Structure 1
Amino acid sequence: MKTIAKEELLNFHYSKMEVLSEPIEITKRNMDLQRAMLLGNTAHGKVKITFLDFQHNLFQVETTIWAVTEEIVCLKGNLFIPKNAIIEID
């Protein structure tokens, strides 16, 4: 796994496929994203997001989550990661 700066996300291309295979994993990811968004909006706290790019390479970025939609996670600095590319939020 490679750790990157959030600014590097501008250069990423993501798969359109879901990276998690189990519905319980997807539910957990959604709950973790909601908690991380509350942390970002109330305390400006950062989280580590582990995700896959379109070639299935594993990356991690530490950033603040500002908003979560049905398909997209909005990060500080007007950056985005598709929800389906995220494996884990710490």
Structure 2
Amino acid sequence: MSTVIAELINKEDIRNYKIIDAPESHVSELRYKLQSAVRLGNEFKSKSVITFNTTSGPKRVETTVWMLTDSYLQLKNGIMIPLSSLLDLDY
């Protein structure tokens, strides 16, 4: 996956953006990283860098991933990022 240039934003600011689907789905190739990010967040309090698509262009946030569902990443304070919007994930 190529490196996406994205503006770094605060986790609390995610709600200020309209999140949209990525041009192509990266969920299957990111599945292992997603599961690892949850484990790192819950067991080691480690942060991940999540890059996702918005109507204002790609954004990235450095935060702890709390939970993974079939459709969303859940962050602290009930913030949800749709998996369909993911462009990249790193830790």
Q: Tell me the equivalent position of 1:71.
A: 71
Q: RMSD between aligned alpha carbons?
A: 1.6
Secondary structure of residue in 1 paired with 2:77: coil
Shift of 1:77: 2.4
Q: Which amino acid aligns with 1:79?
A: I
Taking the aligned partners of 1:20 and 1:38, their CA distance within structure 2 comes to: 28
The question of 1:21 aligning with 2:16 is answered no
The runs of at least 4 aligned residues of structure 1 exceeding 6 Å deviation read none
Q: Which structure 2 residue ranges, 5 or more long, are not aligned?
A: 1-5
- What TM-score do the two structures reach when normalised by structure 2? 0.84
Q: Tell me the equivalent position of 1:43.
A: 44
Q: Which amino acid aligns with 1:52?
A: N
The number of residue pairs the alignment matches comes to: 85
CA contact (8 A) 1:65 1:73 kept: yes
Q: Which structure 1 residue ranges, 5 or more long, are not aligned?
A: none
Q: What is the aligned-residue identity percentage? A: 29
- What TM-score do the two structures reach when normalised by structure 1? 0.84
Q: Tell me the equivalent position of 2:3.
A: none
